[in-house]
């Protein structure tokens, strides 16, 4: 706990914890109907250099702002690093919107965009963004578009992969599992060979990690149906994932630890956890958190549900949203687009922040091919570039993600402390998610 943990979590969130593909779910393809930009008059009016305020916390953003300012004298970006969203950053932005002095741009995770939207905290930027959307992967644009209105510019995403300790796998002759069945078998084999070592850990308080597994299996927790939200946290793919992990929990084949806790990282350092299925931004988190194990790790594709197929889950992605009251939305969008698509700018973000691009040609950046010493000089971003092409397209987030997150943590936390089943816990999460949306006065579709 404490400073180190907060720092790690900040890095994790920065790398773009949180999810993407919202909008496929929201039933709107990117540039559906061009929204009428509300504040266009204001942005065009004044002469002289325009200042765009920008709040975020991703590593590398400060340097990106400097680089932009040096080459764009007419639009100066004033970057302020704030706490990561989950640590109070979102609350700060919402309070600023309420007080009428919010920055123009704010880093808002894909999982939180809809919550911001129902608080009336986002501007419609469809009109400014539609011309540059071709520079992005289509699903990334979908993920920031709600009901035909684009509210943010994508930055990064979090395709998942299998991080594993090559030395431990070699020592116990464990093959790198390609499917979840092989993964479960490997968990049994490894734990039998060395009862102190677990193949992986289960974090009862990590909804986002779990959502990545469900995402891969084809779940779609939140979608819209007409004028109402649809909540499906107990859909068939999610229950399949829950039952899978229930099996590993029942056989005590996984190390149960709170995510991001010192205890969790200590088990990694001590070699008690031999692998982790996580998003691309864990690359940097592991490098920073468990330096003693440097050189012993490697990355493989995420295990799949069916042999021979590759479908990947995603955790994370923090777009930059234009907050309500922004006087220069056009300039803000221009900068945000540059940040996410300019090869030089994003190359720096890969190097400085370990961010993974959402731009159409982002995977060809030189930094993506860089070998990383922590992973035995494997160019791990190449694995994730491959994975990014196979991200399942269906998953979406709803308007009360923080509440759902808390409900998940306490319900699944009870499963590991008091007993019970993950499937029942998910039922509780589903009920609380529905209740939280109704509490906001919004409609929820039955079924």
Partner 1 sequence: MRGGGKTNRAALVFLLPFGTLFVLFFVLPIGYAVNESLYKLKRSGLGFGTPERVFSGLANYAAVFRDGTFLSGVRRLLLFGIVQVPIMLGLALVLALILDGYAARFTRFFRLVYFLPYAVPGVIAAIVWSFLYTPEISPFGLDLLGDGVVLWSIGNIVTWTWTGFNMLVIYAALKAIPRELCEAAAMDGASPWRVAWSIKVPMVRPSLILTGVFSIIGTLQLFNEPTVLTGVTTAVSKSYTPLMWSLQVALDNNDYSLGSAIAIVLAVLAGALSFLFLRLSAWLTRRGVM
Residues lying near partner 1 in the complex (CB under 8 A): 1-2, 5, 88, 91, 94, 115, 117-120, 146-147, 149, 204-205, 224, 227-229, 258, 260-263, 266-267, 399-400, 402-403, 405-406, 409-410, 412-414, 416-418, 435-436, 439-443
Name which of 161, 131, 132 is nearest 359 in CA terms: 132
String of DSSP letters for 205-263:
T-HHHHHHHHHHHT---EEEETTEEEE-TT-HHHHHHHHHHHHHHHTT-EEE--TT-HH
Rounded CA-CA distance 307/181 in Å is: 9
Considering the complex, state which of residue 38 and residue 311 has its C-beta at the smaller distance from partner 1: 38
Considering the complex, state which of residue 118 and residue 360 has its C-beta at the smaller distance from partner 1: 118
Contact 302, 163 (CB under 8 A): no
Considering the complex, state which of residue 36 and residue 263 has its C-beta at the smaller distance from partner 1: 263
Nearest 5°: phi and psi at 44?
-85, -20
CA angle 131, 134, 137 (to 5 degrees): 140
Considering the complex, state which of residue 273 and residue 380 has its C-beta at the smaller distance from partner 1: 273
Q: Which two tokens stand for residue 306?
A: 């069916």
Considering the complex, state which of residue 304 and residue 409 has its C-beta at the smaller distance from partner 1: 409
Contact 28, 141 (CB under 8 A): no
Query: In angstroms, what is the minimal distance from the CB of 410 to partner 1?
Result: 4
Strand order in the sheet with 160-165: 275-279, 160-165, 297-301
Residue in the structure block whose two tokens are 């979908």: 142
Rounded CA-CA distance 315/336 in Å is: 21
C-alpha torsion angle, residues 39, 42, 44, 45 (rounded to 10): 160
Q: Which two tokens stand for residue 85?
A: 């969203």
Considering the complex, state which of residue 262 and residue 347 has its C-beta at the smaller distance from partner 1: 262
Rounded CA-CA distance 64/49 in Å is: 19
Considering the complex, state which of residue 423 and residue 445 has its C-beta at the smaller distance from partner 1: 445
Considering the complex, state which of residue 125 and residue 280 has its C-beta at the smaller distance from partner 1: 125
Rounded CA-CA distance 365/361 in Å is: 8
Query: In angstroms, what is the minimal distance from the CB of 443 to partner 1?
Result: 6
Q: Is 426 helix (H, G, I), strand (E, B) or coil?
A: helix
- How would you classify the pairing of strands 254-256 and 152-153? unpaired
Contact 130, 271 (CB under 8 A): no
Considering the complex, state which of residue 183 and residue 268 has its C-beta at the smaller distance from partner 1: 268
Contact 50, 335 (CB under 8 A): no
Considering the complex, state which of residue 393 and residue 413 has its C-beta at the smaller distance from partner 1: 413
Rounded CA-CA distance 252/354 in Å is: 34
CA angle 258, 350, 161 (to 5 degrees): 45
Query: In angstroms, what is the minimal distance from the CB of 429 to partner 1?
Result: 13
Considering the complex, state which of residue 180 and residue 408 has its C-beta at the smaller distance from partner 1: 408
Query: In angstroms, what is the minimal distance from the CB of 5 to partner 1?
Result: 6
CA angle 253, 193, 241 (to 5 degrees): 25
Q: Which two tokens stand for residue 283?
A: 């690359």
Query: In angstroms, what is the minimal distance from the CB of 69 to partner 1?
Result: 33
Considering the complex, state which of residue 115 and residue 289 has its C-beta at the smaller distance from partner 1: 115
């Amino acid at each position: 706990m404490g400073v180190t943990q907060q720092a790690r979590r900040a890095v994790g969130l920065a790398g773009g914890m949180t999810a993407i593909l919202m909008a496929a779910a929201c039933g709107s393809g990117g540039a559906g109907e061009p929204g009428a930009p509300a504040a266009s008059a204001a942005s065009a009016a004044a002469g002289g250099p325009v200042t765009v305020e920008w709040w975020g916390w991703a590593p590398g953003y400060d340097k990106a702002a400097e680089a932009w300012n040096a080459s764009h004298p007419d639009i100066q970006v004033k970057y302020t690093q704030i706490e990561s969203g989950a640590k109070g950053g979102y609350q700060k932005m919402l309070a600023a919107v309420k007080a009428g002095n919010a920055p123009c741009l704010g880093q808002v995770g894909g999982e939180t965009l809809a919550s911001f939207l129902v608080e009336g905290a986002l501007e419609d930027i469809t009109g400014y963004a539609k011309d540059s959307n071709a520079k992005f992967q289509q699903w990334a644009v979908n993920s920031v578009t709600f009901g035909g209105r684009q509210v943010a510019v994508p930055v990064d995403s979090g395709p998942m992969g299998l991080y594993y300790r090559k030395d431990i796998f070699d020592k116990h002759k464990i093959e790198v599992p390609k499917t979840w069945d092989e993964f479960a078998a490997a968990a049994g084999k490894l734990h039998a060979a060395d009862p102190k070592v677990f193949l992986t850990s289960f974090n009862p308080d990590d909804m986002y990690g779990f959502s990545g597994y469900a995402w891969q299996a084809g779940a779609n927790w939140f979608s819209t149906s007409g004028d109402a939200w649809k909540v499906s946290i107990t859909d068939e793919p999610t229950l399949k994932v829950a039952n899978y992990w229930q099996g590993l929990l029942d056989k005590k084949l996984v190390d149960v630890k709170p995510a991001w806790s010192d205890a969790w990282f200590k088990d990694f350092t001590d070699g008690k956890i031999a692998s982790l299925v996580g998003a691309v931004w864990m690359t940097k988190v592991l490098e920073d958190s468990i330096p003693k194990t440097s050189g012993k790790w490697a990355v493989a594709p995420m295990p799949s549900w069916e042999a021979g197929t590759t479908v990947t889950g995603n955790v994370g992605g923090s777009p930059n949203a234009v907050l309500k009251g922004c006087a220069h939305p056009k300039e803000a969008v221009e900068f945000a687009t540059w940040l996410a698509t300019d090869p030089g700018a994003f190359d720096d973000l890969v190097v400085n922040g370990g961010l993974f691009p959402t731009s159409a040609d982002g995977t060809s950046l030189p930094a993506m091919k860089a070998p990383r010493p922590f992973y035995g000089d494997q160019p791990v971003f190449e694995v994730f570039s491959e994975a990014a092409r196979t991200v399942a397209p269906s998953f979406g987030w709803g308007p009360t993600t923080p509440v759902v997150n808390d409900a998940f943590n306490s319900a699944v936390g009870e499963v590991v402390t008091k007993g019970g089943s993950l499937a029942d816990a998910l039922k509780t999460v589903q009920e609380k998610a529905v209740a939280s949306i109704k509490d906001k006065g919004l409609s929820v579709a039955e079924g």
